[in-house]
Amino acid sequence: MIKMTINSLILGYFSSTLAHAEIDVISKDQFKNQYLSPLSFQFGGQLRPQWIHNMGDEPGYYRDGHDGLSRLRFTTNYELSEQTKLLGYYELGINVPKILDMDGHYKEGAKRTVRRLAYVGVENSQYGTLTYGQQYGLYYAVIGLKSDVWDNDGHAGATAIGVNGHYDGANRAKNSLMYTNTFGKYKLYVNYLFPERAIDVDSEHDYRRKHGEGIGLDYNLNKKTTLSLAYSSTNAKMRDSLGNKKNYHQNILGSAITFTPHNWYLVGTASYYNDFVPATENRHINHYFVGDGYGLEGFAGYTFKLDKPFLKSIQPFIAADRLNLNASDHDYHANHQYVGLSTNLGHGVKVIAEHTFAQTTDDAEKDSTWLTFFISF
**pLDDT number for residue 329:** 67
> Above 60 in pLDDT, residue 308?
yes
Whether 3 shows a pLDDT value over 70: the answer reads: no
* pLDDT tens for each residue of 273-295: 999 999 988 889 999 999 999 99
How many helices (H) and strands (E) the chain has is answered by 5, 21
Cβ neighbours of residue 271 closer than 8 Å, sequence gap 6 or more: 139, 143, 156, 157, 158, 252, 253, 254, 255, 294, 295, 296
In the prediction, which pLDDT does 1 show?
Answer: 38
**Phi, psi of 156, deg, nearest 5:** -130, -20
364 — pLDDT class (breaks 50, 70, 90): confident
- Give the model confidence (pLDDT) of 4-42 as tens digits: 333 443 334 333 333 345 799 999 999 999 999 999 999
Least confident of 85-94, 186-195, 266-275, 321-330: 321-330
Residue 21 vs residue 230, higher pLDDT: 230
Q: Is the dihedral of CA 367, 300, 311, 47 positive or negative?
A: positive
- The residue among 244, 235, 329, 320 whose CA lies nearest residue 286 is 244
- pLDDT-derived band at 149 (thresholds 50, 70, 90) equals very high
Q: What average pLDDT score do residues 136-151 get?
A: 97
Q: Under 8 Å CB-to-CB from 223, ≥6 apart: which residues?
A: none
Residue 177 has pLDDT above 80, yes or no: yes
Reported as a single tens digit per residue, the pLDDT across 45-72 is 999 999 999 987 888 899 999 999 999 9
Domain segments of the chain as ranges: 2-376
- Grouping H, G, I as helix, E, B as strand and the rest as coil, residue 287 is strand
**If you average pLDDT over residues 250-267, what whole number do you get?**
98
Q: 2-376 maps to which CATH number?
A: 2.40.160.10
Nearest to 297 by CA among 86, 85, 144: 144
CB neighbour burial string for 10-45, b if at least 16 within 10 angstroms, e if fewer: eeebbeebeeeeeeeeeeeeeeeeeeeebbbbbebb
* E strands, 275-330, in order: 292-302, 304-308, 311-326
Q: Which of 48-57, 120-129, 260-269, 345-354 has the lowest mean pLDDT?
A: 48-57
Task: Give dist(CA 68, CA 371) in Å, integer.
Answer: 10
Closest to 269 (Cα-Cα) out of 214, 232, 228: 228
The pLDDT of residue 168 is 95
Task: Report how far residue 299's alpha carbon sits from residue 320's, in angstroms, rounded to the nearest whole number.
Answer: 7
- Say if residues 354 and 24 touch (Cβ distance below 8 Å): no
pLDDT given for residue 302 in this prediction:
99
Distance CA 73, CA 89 (A): 7
> What is the percent of the chain where pLDDT is above 90?
87
Residue 17's pLDDT is: 37
CA distance 280 to 361: 10
Please answer whether residues 93 and 135 qualify as being in contact, where contact means their C-beta atoms are separated by less than 8 angstroms: no
Spatial distance between the Cα atoms of 86 and 35, rounded to a whole number of angstroms: 13
Tell me: the pLDDT tens digits for 235-258?
Answer: 999 999 999 999 999 999 999 999
Q: CA-CA distance, 155 to 67, in Å (whole number)?
A: 20
Q: What is the mean pLDDT of the chain?
A: 92
Which tops the pLDDT comparison, 341 or 9?
Answer: 341
pLDDT (average), residues 299-312: 96
Question: What is the pLDDT averaged over residues 150-176?
Answer: 95
